[in-house]
Amino acid sequence: MTLRKLDGKTLAEMILQGAHHLKSNSQMIDALNVFPVPDGDTGTNMNLSMSSGAEEVEKVEENHAGKVSQALAKGLLMGARGNSGVILSQLFRGFSKTLEDKETVTTKDFAEALQGGVTTAYKAVMKPVEGTILTVAREAGETSVELAKKEGDFLPFIQGVVDAARTSLKGTPELLPVLKEVGVVDSGGQGLLTIYEGFLANLKGEELPELSSTISMGDMVNAEHHKLAQDFMNTEDIEFGYCTEFMVKFEEDKLAENPYDEEAFRQTLSEQGDSLLVVSDEDLIKVHIHAEYPGNAMNLGQQYGSLINMKIENMREQHTSIVGDKTKPKEKAEYGIVTVVMGEGIKKLFESLGASVVIQGGQTMNPSTQDISDAIVEAHANNVFILPNNKNITMAAEQAAELADVKAAVIPSKTIPQGMSALLGFNPEADISTNQEEMSELMKHVKSGQITYAVRDTQIDGLSIEKGHFMGIFEGKISSAQKDKLETSKALLSEMIDEEEDEIVTIISGEEADQQEIEALEAYLEEHFEDIEVEIHNGGQPIYSFIFSVE
Amino acid sequence: MSVDLSTKFGHITISNEVISTVAGGAAVECYGIVGMASKNQLRDGIAEMLRRENFSRGVVVRQEEEKLHIDMYIIVSYGTKISEVAHNVQSQVKYTLNKTVGLSVSSVNIFIQGVRVISE
């Protein structure tokens, strides 16, 4: 059967079925709605707009295509709801304008009318956003013009329009970043395709299944999750803990006992949780729900058949691991120690000495107040000590301590050796002020020295330093500068060590120190300072070849 | 005039110019709007469409007792459902301001200053 002329009656029936098909899919279209405002009402709005158009169409008694389309445009205008509804009304306003005087319509007329709709719709917006219903309408319209040139039969013609709209819709995530991010197609575009699908089904004389061909359950689940992700921030705020998806395969005998009614089923399920999606056809129900008791939801489904493809995820666990909140099951400790160091080796050293959180940083890469605040939270303790190990970080540490929700105190260590000594003075049995006193006191008994290289020529503290030379820094003052690293180190150590008072020298070797140098230093110390004990650690710090601690 | 926000680290001051530009930008992305109009249009009697840099002339930000009110002067396309377009603008402006500036707006008042008839 070929249909070369569309009369008013047929057009009206097409429109009615389009509206009906949109209505059956409106909830699914709602679920896709993330743009421009993710309020999940696109489907509802389009449906209300289109229903108003369909009502007007039903009132038309004449068999006149132009009158039918005018009635549709009028109804749409009056009933337009939401952005997509207004766009829809414009699309069909342009459409009806083109067909105004036509009693019957050819494919060529129809294509022109679709194009007319697109032109009108684009005129009514200052800045058309591509990747929306507008794009779908435009691309389908363009294709229809091409098609109409060689296709006079409506059935293949409308089929082509539907295909073009579907292809265009699939491309929407590429045009609109927010869609891509969520992984869904545009909801308004989906709505328009749904209407076109209704047109086609009517011409074919088919009933359409409720689930439109392009929307997948996955799309909708993504969109639901996206909307939800914007809503909650804390793991504790998750009211329904399990993301549950399952399908029910209908079974005859169960259906005989419990006739399936999608609306009623959805209603019952909605009491079990939120983010509910229910989709069904003759054989299957697909369900997505966030529920606290997923078993209950499944029991409900099982009334109608057997369960297949079940998937349950604990969203609290997922969320906890996403935000890195590993502290929840842990009791809050009485004391925590936050410290700032450079180098993996030193980090391990501090951890072995009892630091709870070690931030990487120091000279040339100071952590921010926020970094320290975060670390205080991460330490998860009632009292937190902060060892900045660098005088440039002390201020930030103090700010962080002030802002902290727990008691926090800064032990103003200026060097790595000071920080280590202070840590050794920590006594978990003592109260916070005693500890603060003890640790600050111990810190003073250690002498700190560092070896680094000069990045430019300079004159400082009476020394003239050439670029590339090594500098020995003793308590923040450059005490020697020589071309040779080892010689500089020896000179610095000699200056630091007071044989009568000091007992231990700790060498922390950095990235730029090699094994030979370490051994040479050790030999040097043993030779010149008989009673001194030498400890060697691999700190792995940048910039400083050696850090010396003498006490 | 400007909007002040206090955080634990200090203050953030957002000038009305910023708010009106964001609000105007959100509005013109709405379907059915063909332009922003100067609020003085009625007095001037000139149908003046504003360019982006002048949006603030068509967007008035008022702060009354901690609450933020926005008046927007817009021109809509002929043949659209004006009340619905206005409603869309309201919800989109409110949403965008909340999302980008973190401001909660108490009211968005829309003044339709003109209807643009496009030849069909």
Does the beta-carbon distance from B77 to A125 stay under 8 Å? yes
| Strands, sheet with A381-387, edge to edge from the N-terminal-most edge strand | A357-360, A333-341, A381-387, A407-410
Using a pLDDT cut of 90, give the percent of chain B over it: 18
Residue A364 pLDDT more than 70?
Answer: no
SS3 for A497?
Answer: coil
B-chain residues within 8 Å CB-CB of A186? none
Residues A410-434, mean pLDDT to the nearest whole number: 85
Of A97-106, A286-295, A458-467, give the range with the top mean pLDDT.
A97-106
Secondary structure (H, E, C), A103-147: CCECHHHHHHHHHHHHHHHHHCCCCCCCCCHHHHHHHHHHHHHHH
Q: Lowest-confidence range among A201-215, A370-384, B70-84? A: A201-215
What's the pLDDT score for residue A14? 94
Residue A178, H or E segment? helix A177-182
Q: Are B34 and B70 in contact (CB under 8 A)?
A: no
Q: Lowest-confidence range among A298-307, A393-402, B38-47? A: B38-47
Q: List domains and CATH numbers for chain B.
A: 16-116 (3.30.70.1350)
- Between these two residues, A424 and A201, which has the higher pLDDT value? A201
Segment A246-280, tens digit of pLDDT? 888 888 888 888 888 888 888 888 888 877 777 77
The question of ipTM being above 0.90 is answered as no
Residue A226, H or E segment? helix A217-231
Q: Are A185 and A179 in contact (CB under 8 A)?
A: yes
Residues A527-544, mean pLDDT to the nearest whole number: 84
Looking at chain B, which residue has its C-alpha nearest residue A132? B31
Using a pLDDT cut of 70, give the percent of chain B over it: 82
- Degrees (nearest 5) of the Cα angle A343, A373, A378? 75
Segment A172-210, tens digit of pLDDT? 999 998 888 888 899 999 999 999 999 999 999 887 766
Within B1-116, strands assigned E span 2-7, 10-15, 33-37, 49-50, 59-64, 67-77, 107-116
Calpha distance A118→A49 (Å, rounded): 18
Q: Is A81 on the interface with B (CB under 8 A)?
A: yes
For A345, list phi and psi in degrees, rounded to 5: -65, -45
Residue A297 pLDDT more than 70?
Answer: yes
Residues A343-350, mean pLDDT to the nearest whole number: 85
Q: Within the 57-76 window of chain B, which residues sit less than 8 Å (CB to CB) from chain A?
A: none
Q: Residue A257's beta-bridge partner residues?
A: none
Q: Is B49 on the interface with A (CB under 8 A)?
A: no
Residues B39-57, mean pLDDT to the nearest whole number: 59
Calpha distance A243→A238 (Å, rounded): 11
Q: Give the C-alpha distances (Å, rounded to integers) separating A505 from A318, A449, A470.
A: 48, 11, 20
Residue A144 pLDDT more than 50?
Answer: yes
Chain A interface mutation, best of B7, B22, B30, B31, highest count of A Cβ atoms under 10 Å? B31
Pairing relationship of beta strands A242-250 and A305-314 according to DSSP bridges: antiparallel
Alpha-carbon dihedral sign for residues A323, A325, A328, A334? negative
Q: Within the 4-43 window of chain B, which residues sit less than 8 Å (CB to CB) from chain A?
A: 8-9, 28-35
Averaged confidence pLDDT in chain A:
85
Residues A11-29, mean pLDDT to the nearest whole number: 91
Neighbours of A522 (CB within 10 A): 15
B-chain residues within 8 Å CB-CB of A81? 84
SS3 for A24?
Answer: helix
Q: Is A117 on the interface with B (CB under 8 A)?
A: no
Pairing relationship of beta strands A533-538 and A504-509 according to DSSP bridges: parallel
Using a pLDDT cut of 70, give the percent of chain A over it: 93
Segment A469-513, tens digit of pLDDT? 888 888 878 888 888 888 888 888 888 888 778 888 888 888 888
A-chain residues within 8 Å CB-CB of B8? 403
Neighbours of A180 (CB within 10 A): 13
Within A168-283, strands assigned E span 242-250, 273-280
What's the pLDDT score for residue A325? 47
Chain B nearest-CA distance from A76, in A, is 9
Neighbours of A369 (CB within 10 A): 18
- Residue with structure tokens 């120690």? A337
Residue A322 pLDDT more than 50?
Answer: yes
Q: Are B76 and B37 in contact (CB under 8 A)?
A: no
For A472, list phi and psi in degrees, rounded to 5: -100, 125
Q: Within the 75-104 window of chain B, which residues sit less than 8 Å (CB to CB) from chain A?
A: 77, 79-81, 84-85, 88, 91-92, 95
Does the beta-carbon distance from A124 to B77 stay under 8 Å? yes
What's the pLDDT score for residue A50? 95
Q: Give residue A488's identity as a one-letter amino acid code.
A: T
- Degrees (nearest 5) of the Cα angle A423, A470, A466? 140
What angle, rounded to 10 degrees, do the helices at A187-204 and A82-99 form? Answer: 40
Segment B23-36, tens digit of pLDDT? 988 888 888 888 88
Calpha distance A278→A270 (Å, rounded): 10
B-chain residues within 8 Å CB-CB of A126? 28-29, 33-35
Write out the two tokens for A443.
Answer: 């810190």
Q: Are B103 and B97 in contact (CB under 8 A)?
A: yes
Chain B interface mutation, best of A35, A70, A83, highest count of B Cβ atoms under 10 Å? A83
Residue A229 pLDDT more than 70?
Answer: no
Residue A308, H or E segment? strand A305-314
